[in-house]
Structure 1
Amino acid sequence: MKSPVFLVFLVLFSFAVEAYAQGGSGLEVKYRDNITLDQEVVSGGYFVDPPKEFEGHPYFFTKNFEQSDITINGLTYRRVPILYNIWKDQVLTFQPIHKQKILIRHDKIDAFTLHLDFPVSFIRLDENPTYSHHGSGIYEYVGEGPSRLLIKHRKQTKPKREFSIYSEVFYETQDYFLQKNGEIIKISGRKQAIDFLSMDPKEVRKSTRDSNLIYRIDRRGYLSFLVSLYNQAQYDKK
């Protein structure tokens, strides 16, 4: 019987055809150099679903595989079926012959984008030393430029208090970070974010009021707005 690694490689090979068109002969050489790595990429083994006694699912946004783009060892593959398990911080693809979820080795992943009703982009960071939930290092990112917002999506379980067929239930939480010039800090308050980006509090207050953004209500929206203001100010200085 063919190994799951070989079978999934065949699937990813079909997705990789589009990669040939991305950069001409140079990319073709790079692709051929990485063929052996492609087989290793999916050698994380089969994924074991959580116990049936757990209510909910461990995935980001949806439990269905979504067509996605993923960059592995510098090569981008298009229209790959992907699930992001935020309980274990694992990225999965689908092995169609045996209908199995397969783990993609996190250390081979550079970035990926899930195409839901809206695209959501993730990047893998090698380290975030002061953060205890770094896991495989996968963070959603918002913003392109000198600064960006990083969001760590996590799911945990807690016991069901009421009588139920379920013993545990999944719940989701997020941690927010700002990255600037390679430095990353976890954000616990509005003032901390403003100080880190060296912004004028009065100008920020006016701009966020004009945009109806309140930190305690919409942390993601507020912080991504600060990032866009900061990046625009840096571009204007050039």
Structure 2
Amino acid sequence: MALKSFGQNELTNASSVRETIAYPVALYKAATAQSQNLYNGRQYYVYDSKSEEHQFFQDRKWKKGSIFYDGQRFDSIPMLYDIFKDELVIKHFNGDDLLLQSEKTDYFEVNGHHFERLEAGKQINEQMRTGFYDILYNGKTRTLVRRSKQRQETIQEKRVTALFPQKDFFYISKDGRYNAVHSRKSVFNLFPEHKKELRKVLKDQKISFKKNRELAIARIVAAYDELARL
């Protein structure tokens, strides 16, 4: 019976193959170790999926964005923001929809919007609701928007249909507290010393408060910060 012997080249080649296999495995383990916490949520089921209206921010389409979760930032993550339940949903790479733990989500960015999780009595007033707030303006006079939807039911042709009307709540920081604003008057009343100049800003920029309240509030607050520095 002939015994096969291994030469130096064969041993070297075998070792090289093992190293070649081990390297991508090590890279995979390192990458998955970083994302284990992100993809460790419970499954989310899209409710009222057949209704024309929906519970999500802007639309039903998955949008890629960034998340700062459990002390780490993740980019290019497909996500949906359920503003009826104030919950963030991501798409697992195996196709599942996962619900993230809100307490571990510091912020997320999607479609040009930056949402931060703020706690009542800490970053925001005691009477405000803990949850995600869209940062409309991030200057000295910080301005927040809480996006909200209500779920309503209507019967059409003997079928129950869900409706999700949206309502946005605006808050402007002044003297260490956030002030709820809704109307043009309520915004200008926060800055009585510059009311005339701020009205002129909207007029010069041809911004209608009634037609574009969000833009109007952001421009007023930004202009106020500029005037306050003079």
TM-score bracket, normalised by the shorter chain, equals: 0.7 to 0.9
Contact 2:201 2:220 in 1 (8 A): no
Which string of whole-angstrom CA distances, capped at 9 and with x for unpartnered residues, describes residues 143-186 of structure 1?
Answer: 22211221111122222253264432222221111124642121
Q: 1:146, 1:181 within 8 Å by CA — same for their partners in 2?
A: no
SS in 1 for 2:164: strand
Report the equivalent of 1:105.
Answer: 101
Q: 1:163 to 1:190 in 2, by over 3 A?
A: same
Q: Give the aligned residue type for 1:151.
A: V
Misfit runs of 4+, over 6 Å: none
Which residue is 2:146 aligned to?
Answer: 152
Distance 2:153 2:225 in 1: 43
In 2, the alpha carbon distance for the partners of 1:166 and 1:189 equals: 35
Q: Which residue does 1:178 correspond to in 2?
A: 172
Residue identity opposite 2:113 in structure 1: V
Letter paired with 2:87: Q
Secondary structure of the 2:171 match is: strand
Indicate the residue corresponding to 2:80 in structure 1: 83
Aligned partners of 1:77, 1:198: CA distance in 2, in Å?
A: 43
Task: For 1:121, give the aligned amino acid.
Answer: H
Distance in 2, matches of 1:85 and 1:15, equals: 27
Work out which of the two has the higher radius of gyration on C-alpha atoms and give 1 or 2: 2
2:216 corresponds to? 222
User: How many residues in Structure 1 have an aligned counterpart in Structure 2?
Assistant: 199
Q: Which residue of the partner structure matches residue 130 of structure 1?
A: 127
Identity of aligned residues (%): 20
Distance 1:174 1:202, change over 3 A: same
Give the 5 Å matches for 1:34-45. 39=37, 42-45=39-42
Give the 3 Å change call, closer, same or farther, for CA 74–196 of structure 1 in structure 2: farther
Q: TM-score, normalising length from structure 1? A: 0.72
Change (3 A) 1:193 1:232: same
CA pair 206-91 structure 1, distance change in 2 beyond 3 A: same
The separation in 2 between residues aligned to 1:215 and 1:63, in whole angstroms, is 28
Q: Hey, what does 2:113 align to over in structure 1?
A: 120
State the match for 2:11 in structure 1.
none
Could you tell me how far apart the structure 1 residues matched to 2:96 and 2:227 are? 48
Moved more, 224-233 or 159-168: 159-168
Q: Report the AA paired with residue 74 of structure 2.
A: Y
In structure 2, give the amino acid aligned to 1:105.
Answer: Q
Structure 1 residues without counterparts, runs of 5 or longer: 1-9, 17-34
SS of equivalent to 1:140? strand
Q: How many angstroms apart in 1 are the aligned matches of 2:189 and 2:29? A: 48
Distance in 1 (CA, whole Å) between partners of 2:151 and 2:108 is: 26
Output one character per residue of 1:45-88: Cα deviation in whole Å (capped at 9) or x when no partner. 11122145644221111212211011224432211111111111
What value does the CA root-mean-square deviation take over the aligned residues? 2.8
For 1:102, give the aligned amino acid: L
